[in-house]
Structure 1
Amino acid sequence: METYSPLWSLIIFFIVVALLLALFRPSKGWYWIIRKAFKSNEKVITEDILKQLYHFEQSDNKVDMKTLVQLLDFSNHSIVEAVKKMTINDLIYSESDVLKLTEAGRDYALRIVRVHRLWERYLADKTGIHKTEWHDRAESMEHRLSHDDAEQLSARLGHPKFDPHGDPIPTKTGKMAPVQGVELPLLPVGSVGKITHIEDEPEVIYKQILAENIHMGSVLKVIENNATRIVFRSEGEEFKLAPIVAANLTVALIEKEVVVEDNIARLSSLKADETAKIIGISRESRGESRRRLLDLGFVKGSDVSIDLLNPLGDPNAFLIKGTSIALRKDQASKILIKKD
C-alpha cells in the first residue's frame, strides 16, 4: 500500500487550501466573481426589460413576450426567467398576453431612464466624445450608477431638464418637463418652428438624421410636405427627408411672424469670395468644443472669411481676428453667420 511522507501531505494540504481560497475568498474568489457576474447580468436583463416596456408605454404601443425576445440581445431562456422573477417581485404583470409595468416597475424604469439621459448630457457637455457614441456609452453606464450617484451627477450638471436630444430627464421623484412641439410631418407648408427634440431610436433613422447634419435648436421653414417627402429650409440650407425620418424630429411652432433670412447660413457654406459676420454658435456645439470655438475668436459680431481652401475638402482655414484657424466641416457647420 502506497503511503505519503509528511512533506507531501503538507504540500497537498497547502494546495487544497490555495484552491479553496481561489474559489471562495470573500469578494475576490472565483465563486464570488462568477456569482457577481451572474447577478450583474441578471440585473442588466431586468433593467433592459423595464426600460423597453417604459418606452413602449410612452409611445402607446403594446409589447408581448415574443416582441420582447426579438428586441433584446439576450437568450430566450434568460428573458423568460427574468420576466418570471419580475412578475413575482411585482415589477410587471401580464394582461391578455400584453406585458405592462406596475407602479413599482415604472418607478424603477424611470430611474434607469434618468441615469441614461443624465449620462448623455454629461458626455455632450463635459467631454469631446462625438454624439454618435453617446447612446451606447449611456447604455452601459445606466446599469452602474446608483440613485445617489445619479443625483450627484445631476447636481454637477446643474439639474438639467433635457438631454442633448431634447428628451426630458426625470427628476429624482420621477417628474418630467413636457416636450414642446409636434412631429415635423404634421406641420403645414409655410410653418416656421424650432427643433426641440431629435429621437435617437431606431438607430438606422437617427443615423440618417446625423448624416444630414440637422441640429437641435435650429429654426426651420417648411417648404414642401406630402406623402413622399418633407422639404424644409434651415440655416441657409435645404433639407429633404422621407416622412418616416422627419417624424423623428419634434418642432415647436413659432406663432409670431418670423423671417428665415436667406443670408443667414452655416460657416461651412461660406465661399472663397464671400465675407460674413458671426451671429452665434449652434446649441449642437456644447461643453469643451463650444468653449474652444469661443476662445479661438468665433464670437458674435466677428468678421470671418475663407483664408485657405483645402483641395481635399476638409479642413478649411478661416480668417478671424487676423488669425487663420483650421476647422473641419462638422465644426464649421455649428457656427452661424450672416453673409455680407
Structure 2
Amino acid sequence: MSLLLTFSFLVIAVLLFWPGVGVVSRWREAKRRQARMRREDALKHILKSEVNGHLPTLHSVTGVLHISDDAAAEVLTAMERRKLISYTGGKLSLLESGRKLALHIVRAHRLWESYLAEETGVDEAQWHRLAEQKEHQLSPEEASDLEAKLGHPIMDPHGDVIPVLGGELDADEGQPLNTAPINKALEIVHIEDEPIAVYRQLLALGLRPAMRVCILAKESDFLTLWAEGQELALAPILANNIGILPIPEVKAADLLDEEYLSDLQIGEQARVLGLSATCRGAERRRLLDLGFVAGTMISVELPSPTGDSTAYIVRGTMIALRREQARMISIGQRVSVTESALSS
C-alpha cells in the first residue's frame, strides 16, 4: 500500500513540477509570456502616442492593456528596470532599446495584416486580432522574410505605413472625416482598427482605405456620406475613426457620377475602368484573371431569379458575379447594346 502511495505521489509530482511540461512549469511560462506581451503592447502604445503628438500616461496604458492602474504601474516599473522606458515625474518616454522593440512590434503587426489580406481567405474582421497575437511571435528576421515574400509593401490594409527595418514610424495621415467640409472630394487614407466594435461597423459599411468619398450633409448626430455609389449615414464616433485627405483635382459631382457594374442593366454594355480598393487579395486576383481589367467591354446576359447574382459576358465568356462583387468594378462608357452595334 505504501509503495502504491509513494508511486502516486511521484506521478503527481512529475505532472506538477516536471520542467517544461509540468502544470507549474507551463503556468509560469504562460505568466512570463503574458508579462512580455503586456510590455510590448505598452511600448507600441507609447510609440504611437509620441509620433502622433499625444501624451502617453499611466491611465492611457491602463486602457490599452485593459488592466487596473496598479497592474499597469507594475508593467511600467518592469519596463523601466529593463531600460525600455523612462518614467520620471509621471512622464513616459521611450529609451533607445524600447523604441527599437516597439518599432519591430508595429512592423510585424502591419506585415502580418498585409499577409492575411493578400495571401489568405481569412475574414477581414479577424485580421487585427490575429496580428495582435502574431506580432509577439515574429522575430526581426522572420518579419524581413515576410516583407520580401509580400513584395515589400508600403502600406498595410488599414492605410498605415509599414516602417522599414531600422527606420522610423510615421504619424497617422489625414484628418478625421467628421472635420471635413461637405461637397468636397475626399480620399480615405486611414481606418482605425480600435476599438474593434467600431472597426467592425466600418467594415460592414464597406468603407476601406483608398476609397473616394464626399460628405453630402452634416447633422448634429450623424453625417451623410457618398461612397462608391452608396449613401451612408455615419454616427460621429464612426466618422472620427476614418482619416481622410482632400482630392483637389476631383469634384464631388464627379464622384456622384461614378457607376459600377452592379448598375448595368440587361441590354447594356460598358467598359471596365478598374477595381475598387475594397477588392483585395485572392478575390482581386480572381477578378483580374477572369478578365475584369481596365478597358474590357462587358454586357449583361442574365440576372438570377433571386436577384443576388448576374451573368455577364466578358471576352466571349459568361461569368456570374454576386451583387457585392459587381459593386467593386467601376465602369464607364455605358450604352445599350443596340447603340453600340449601330456605332460600330
| TM-score interval (norm. to shorter) | 0.7 to 0.9
SS in 1 for 2:61: helix
Q: 1:49 aligns with which of 38, 42, 46?
A: 42
Equivalent residue number for residue 113 of structure 1: 106
Give the superposition deviation at 1:42.
Answer: 1.3
Equivalent residue number for residue 154 of structure 1: 147
Judge conservation of contact 1:221–1:260 (CA < 8 Å) in 2: no
Partner amino acid, structure 2, of 1:292? R
Partner amino acid, structure 2, of 1:236? G
Equivalent residue number for residue 65 of structure 1: 58
SS in 2 for 1:260: helix
- Between 152-161 and 76-85, the greater mean CA deviation after superposition: 76-85
The answer to whether residue 194 in structure 2 is matched with residue 204 in structure 1 is: no
Equivalent residue number for residue 278 of structure 1: 272
Give the superposition deviation at 1:151.
Answer: 1.4
Cα pair distance change 1:98/1:308, threshold 3 Å: farther
Deviations 1:13-72 (A, max 9, x none): 877776665556554444443332221111112112222333333444445434533442
Cα pair distance change 1:74/1:317, threshold 3 Å: farther
Partner amino acid, structure 1, of 2:200? K
Equivalent-residue separation in structure 1 for 2:215 and 2:69 (angstroms):
45
Equivalent-residue separation in structure 2 for 1:271 and 1:235 (angstroms):
18
Partner amino acid, structure 1, of 2:228? E
Equivalent-residue separation in structure 2 for 1:42 and 1:261 (angstroms):
49
Give the superposition deviation at 1:268.
Answer: 3.3
Equivalent residue number for residue 175 of structure 1: 168
The answer to whether residue 294 in structure 2 is matched with residue 294 in structure 1 is: no
Cα pair distance change 1:53/1:330, threshold 3 Å: farther
Give the superposition deviation at 1:225.
Answer: 4.7
Q: 1:129 aligns with which of 115, 119, 122?
A: 122
* Gap regions ≥5 residues in structure 2: 336-344
Cα pair distance change 1:181/1:71, threshold 3 Å: closer
Equivalent-residue separation in structure 1 for 2:45 and 2:170 (angstroms):
21
Give the superposition deviation at 1:118.
Answer: 0.7
Q: CA RMSD in A?
A: 3.2
* Gap regions ≥5 residues in structure 1: none
Equivalent-residue separation in structure 2 for 1:19 and 1:235 (angstroms):
64
The aligned length equals: 333
Give the superposition deviation at 1:124.
Answer: 0.8
Judge conservation of contact 2:52–2:172 (CA < 8 Å) in 1: no
SS in 1 for 2:147: helix
Q: Report % sequence identity.
A: 36
Equivalent-residue separation in structure 1 for 2:249 and 2:321 (angstroms):
36
Cα pair distance change 1:318/1:215, threshold 3 Å: farther
Equivalent residue number for residue 193 of structure 1: 186
Give the superposition deviation at 1:313.
Answer: 4.6
The answer to whether residue 133 in structure 2 is matched with residue 140 in structure 1 is: yes
- Between 253-262 and 283-292, the greater mean CA deviation after superposition: 253-262
Judge conservation of contact 1:90–1:104 (CA < 8 Å) in 2: yes
Give the superposition deviation at 1:189.
Answer: 3.3
SS in 1 for 2:156: coil
- Between 201-210 and 115-124, the greater mean CA deviation after superposition: 201-210
SS in 1 for 2:164: coil
- Between 14-23 and 114-123, the greater mean CA deviation after superposition: 14-23
Give the superposition deviation at 1:77.
Answer: 5.9
Give the superposition deviation at 1:159.
Answer: 2.0
Equivalent residue number for residue 248 of structure 1: 241
What are the equivalent positions in structure 2 for 1:295-310 lying under 5 Å apart? 295-310=289-304
Cα pair distance change 1:276/1:66, threshold 3 Å: same
Cα pair distance change 1:246/1:23, threshold 3 Å: closer
Structure 1 length normalisation: TM-score? 0.82
Give the superposition deviation at 1:126.
Answer: 1.0
Give the superposition deviation at 1:318.
Answer: 3.4
The answer to whether residue 312 in structure 2 is matched with residue 318 in structure 1 is: yes
Equivalent-residue separation in structure 2 for 1:237 and 1:314 (angstroms):
17
Equivalent residue number for residue 35 of structure 1: 28
SS in 1 for 2:83: coil
Cα pair distance change 1:103/1:275, threshold 3 Å: same
Equivalent residue number for residue 80 of structure 2: 87
Structure 2 length normalisation: TM-score? 0.81
